[in-house]
Chains A and B, each alone.
Chain A
């Protein structure tokens, strides 16, 4: 009963709110409570005070009061360590299930005051106990600090950070000042590729899915470099002439295209099928093939390149999930 009430109070006090863009930690967003060590110091201070009274130690009073007031001031310092930080939830690169998703947050400290020992952790159930090991970082004065928050990816689809706790116990560890961060950032998790699956050659409906020769002969011109292009294809001569990074583009004959069809997968369950498809896309791209994707909910025309690969993987990752396709 009491627990339920407390839970309701907490969920009311710290109402979740998903935020976009930049969040500034204003006074109303920062909470403070004493830590266990803070309570322990309070106990030690009471003992000291009793000793001072009993033995009439004036300097003992001085020390006791000095420590007490330092503890009180450390509360203000803990608060200030978080106050007016600007936080942006950045992007997260897609990863495969089983890997670790890395969410990038930007902590912009516009003040002249360096912030030390900030910790970011996934919000747990208890005030004192956060689940997982927090990421520790400092936010130096007048700088934008990029913080990489890892989260294990266990399922395909969209991974959200959920609510995170940003906390600090600086400078004396006596007070725990915290704020909740809940950004709408999400990370696309591709299915974990099957470890070994042969490409479905010859299974395309038109029967032309042959193994492509790399197609080096048919030079079709130069195009702009995109991340992931193979280094041997970079046109170094063009680069030397200061025309920027360009990549030699080769056209492949129309007939040599491969269809990766969901219905071709023989696996028993859907996840395994998707895992196989993921493996196919990766292998097809690695071998420089032109490939198309045919899923029960639509198809992608055959193409190749990093962008195409990503689009395919995205379709596979989000297949049959209640979430929307587009973020």
Chain B
């Protein structure tokens, strides 16, 4: 294994494991970095590779470490970690060409595992760069004598030729809707809303700029204060944390007096939870999902790939005017022992008001008038979270307001529940769609009023109307804690951001979301009538055949067009000129004989022609083949005058 080749393999492994560094356990990343450095030193100094027992020991220790870290060897994270570790260790025992080959295949495999974590455009570009290094090393492994430049050229040619062929395969290769086998539980990472809410859980989510979903409205988008994207509905309060409660009731929701229907398409990023997001209240959906008794849309399985669905919602509605007793009962549940002061306050309101609507309004004006502050960094609360917030700290984020509002309502005997989801979205005028980010996460309340059904009440709007009307940054006084883009960036940065997001959206829709459905739609658009698998396979084969045939024509063309021999051409031209001057060369006559004859009949040319003939012979038949001699001959042949 020569030095440059070892460096090439080191670079390959470094490039393929580098993207993994951020999600590997720290000790694995450091161990791999250490091993890479050690191997580089060994290659540099030319010292012997470590002994077999030492490698076995490190491998064993590493495997045990992984088992301890993940409690298994077979989960996704665990196997990726193991693969990375083994590839790095394999570098330590490079003895034969076969070891290097195994390493190259391992590198390709590790590249694929990186796609579990990211498939963005930068990842794709990085993939190309990595492939370039891997292929160049691969070529180097086959031909160790070859210099760097031709090596890179061959690798680049292979890669560039493969790209159009890959595109044909990518478009036409029949997509099988997966998965083929059950996936391990940790196959997908989850991010985004949880079905639990406690003080601080949403404000943590607010810090993430990750996209939750993108929405394209078919017509005019709704006003911002109507863009409540409903997520998990929380019923059960234990004094600190809200959860959905024990069972989903098998009751069908009933919507009446629907109006202001609005159609839109949502592209939901995978979040590994079953719920889909829609505006209140949805009555049409393009994917099979259940609408629960509390109006949540639940997908049949956790959403672990990007999901596109069209939906129709009605912005004006009456929901469950006649509510069953059990949900109403649930809507009054309260933990018994906590928050006496809040209970007392609610009781006072109930005593002075007979009307539920009046109590709701009292509560909202209470929030408005009592100097409550809307902030991302509220002080911590003690055991009686609601009391502490309402009467002591008075600083909170939407979950504090929603939580205490629902508590007060329930205490005043009005059925209420917490709804979490997203509010609003950022309009991308480049791509003409809305981007809803994790930082748009929100919590609000719903109360059940006789004659109105479930009504949305957002207590946050009472304290920080800007949060509802405009944006988070307008609502929060000190926005230093917000992610950069959630503040107010300059216009050009917004534009750049929107352009990049539009690009990412297209990429998501067409490249990453290229599934059976998209494939058929795309092929129809290309003009293929009645798309079938047989047809696709046939088209794929012929497409590949044609492109490969074109490549072979181009590649082999070089071989057939023989390089004209400049020396011979010049000599033949000289002979033609002499022929014109009356001294034709006989067919059997060699250069030397011919020159001698010319010299004899034209003594004034003798010196020149004999010199040229000698040079010609030595250039063409002799060992002398340097550039200089060739140039001199060509110059003199051209300068020759008959």
Interface 9-residue window, one of B155-163, B204-212, B380-388, B475-483: B155-163
Bound Cα distance from A114 to B558, whole angstroms: 11
Residue contact B181 to A54, C-beta cutoff 8 Å: yes
Residue contact B158 to A77, C-beta cutoff 8 Å: yes
Question: Which single member of B124, B154, B563 contacts A62 (CB below 8 Å)?
Answer: B124
Taking CB atoms, residues of chain B closer than 8 Å to A80 are 555-556, 559
- Asked if B68 lies at the interface with its beta carbon under 8 angstroms from chain A, I say no
Bound Cα distance from A69 to B173, whole angstroms: 13
Question: Which single member of A67, A77, A112, A116 contacts B146 (CB below 8 Å)?
Answer: A116
Residue contact A59 to B124, C-beta cutoff 8 Å: yes
Taking CB atoms, residues of chain B closer than 8 Å to A213 are none
> Which residue, B115, B141, B159, B514, has most C-beta atoms of chain A within 10 A?
B115
Q: Report A37-68 CB contacts with B as 1/0, cut-off 8 Å.
A: 10011001001101111111111111111111
Q: Report B555-568 CB contacts with A as 1/0, cut-off 8 Å.
A: 11011101100000
When A116-B145, A172-B142 are in contact, do A44 and B161 touch as well, CB less than 8 Å?
A: no
- Asked if A76 lies at the interface with its beta carbon under 8 angstroms from chain B, I say yes
Question: Which single member of B158, B544, B552, B558 contacts A111 (CB below 8 Å)?
Answer: B558
Q: Report B510-527 CB contacts with A as 1/0, cut-off 8 Å.
A: 011111000000000000
Interface 9-residue window, one of B101-109, B291-299, B493-501, B611-619: B101-109
Question: Which single member of A44, A77, A169 contacts B105 (CB below 8 Å)?
Answer: A44
- Asked if A110 lies at the interface with its beta carbon under 8 angstroms from chain B, I say yes
Q: Report A92-133 CB contacts with B as 1/0, cut-off 8 Å.
A: 000000000000000000111110110000000000000000
In the complex, number of A-B residue pairs with CB atoms less than 8 Å apart: 156
| Closest chain B CB from A83 CB (angstroms) | 6
Q: Report A207-241 CB contacts with B as 1/0, cut-off 8 Å.
A: 00000000000000000000000000000000000
Residue contact A173 to B173, C-beta cutoff 8 Å: no
- Asked if B581 lies at the interface with its beta carbon under 8 angstroms from chain A, I say no
| Closest chain A CB from B189 CB (angstroms) | 13
Residue contact B559 to A117, C-beta cutoff 8 Å: no
Residue contact A84 to B180, C-beta cutoff 8 Å: no
| Closest chain B CB from A202 CB (angstroms) | 49
Residue contact B559 to A83, C-beta cutoff 8 Å: yes
Taking CB atoms, residues of chain B closer than 8 Å to A56 are 178-179, 305, 515
Residue contact B559 to A48, C-beta cutoff 8 Å: no
Residue contact B514 to A58, C-beta cutoff 8 Å: yes
Count residues of chain B with CB under 8 A from any CB of chain A. Answer: 58
Question: Which single member of B119, B142, B162 contacts A66 (CB below 8 Å)?
Answer: B162
- Asked if B111 lies at the interface with its beta carbon under 8 angstroms from chain A, I say yes
- Asked if B531 lies at the interface with its beta carbon under 8 angstroms from chain A, I say no
- Asked if B165 lies at the interface with its beta carbon under 8 angstroms from chain A, I say yes
- Asked if A142 lies at the interface with its beta carbon under 8 angstroms from chain B, I say yes
Residue contact B563 to A111, C-beta cutoff 8 Å: yes
Bound Cα distance from A206 to B287, whole angstroms: 117
Q: Report B460-486 CB contacts with A as 1/0, cut-off 8 Å.
A: 000000000000000000000000000
| Closest chain A CB from B627 CB (angstroms) | 12
Bound Cα distance from A80 to B559, whole angstroms: 8
Bound Cα distance from A170 to B145, whole angstroms: 12
- Asked if A194 lies at the interface with its beta carbon under 8 angstroms from chain B, I say no
Bound Cα distance from A152 to B552, whole angstroms: 40
- Asked if A74 lies at the interface with its beta carbon under 8 angstroms from chain B, I say yes
Taking CB atoms, residues of chain B closer than 8 Å to A37 are 101
Bound Cα distance from A55 to B173, whole angstroms: 16
> Which residue, A41, A59, A138, A170, has most C-beta atoms of chain B within 10 A?
A59
Question: Which single member of B116, B515, B563 contacts A55 (CB below 8 Å)?
Answer: B116
Residue contact A58 to B511, C-beta cutoff 8 Å: yes
| Closest chain A CB from B533 CB (angstroms) | 14
- Asked if A73 lies at the interface with its beta carbon under 8 angstroms from chain B, I say yes
Question: Which single member of B127, B180, B563 contacts A50 (CB below 8 Å)?
Answer: B180
Taking CB atoms, residues of chain B closer than 8 Å to A51 are 112
Bound Cα distance from A136 to B162, whole angstroms: 28
Q: Report B170-195 CB contacts with A as 1/0, cut-off 8 Å.
A: 10010110111101000100000000
- Asked if A70 lies at the interface with its beta carbon under 8 angstroms from chain B, I say yes
- Asked if A325 lies at the interface with its beta carbon under 8 angstroms from chain B, I say no
Bound Cα distance from A47 to B116, whole angstroms: 16
- Asked if A162 lies at the interface with its beta carbon under 8 angstroms from chain B, I say no
Q: Report B415-451 CB contacts with A as 1/0, cut-off 8 Å.
A: 0000000000000000000000000000000000000
| Closest chain B CB from A38 CB (angstroms) | 11
Residue contact B179 to A54, C-beta cutoff 8 Å: yes
Residue contact B108 to A44, C-beta cutoff 8 Å: yes
- Asked if B548 lies at the interface with its beta carbon under 8 angstroms from chain A, I say yes
Taking CB atoms, residues of chain A closer than 8 Å to B305 are 56
Bound Cα distance from A63 to B180, whole angstroms: 20
Bound Cα distance from A170 to B157, whole angstroms: 14
Closest to A64 in B: B112
When A57-B116, A80-B555, A172-B138 are in contact, do A66 and B111 touch as well, CB less than 8 Å?
A: no
Closest to B181 in A: A54
Residue contact A171 to B139, C-beta cutoff 8 Å: yes
Show the binding face of B for A, using Cβ within 8 Å.
101, 105, 108-109, 111-112, 115-116, 119, 123-124, 127, 131, 135, 138-139, 141-143, 145-146, 150, 154, 158-159, 161-163, 165-166, 169-170, 173, 175-176, 178-181, 183, 187, 305, 511-515, 544, 548, 551-552, 555-556, 558-560, 562-563
Task: List 12 contacting pairs A-B, 8 Å CB cutoff, sorted by A.
Answer: A44-B109, A47-B109, A54-B181, A59-B127, A62-B127, A63-B112, A65-B173, A70-B161, A73-B165, A83-B556, A116-B143, A117-B143
Show the binding face of A for B, using Cβ within 8 Å.
37, 40-41, 44, 47-48, 50-70, 72-74, 76-77, 80, 83-84, 110-114, 116-117, 136, 138, 142, 169-173
7 closest A-B pairs (Cβ-Cβ)?
A69-B165, A69-B162, A117-B143, A65-B169, A65-B166, A84-B559, A70-B162
With contacts A37-B101, A116-B145 known, what are 13 further pairs, Cβ within 8 A?
A: A44-B105, A44-B108, A44-B109, A51-B112, A56-B178, A56-B179, A56-B515, A57-B119, A65-B173, A66-B166, A77-B158, A110-B563, A172-B139
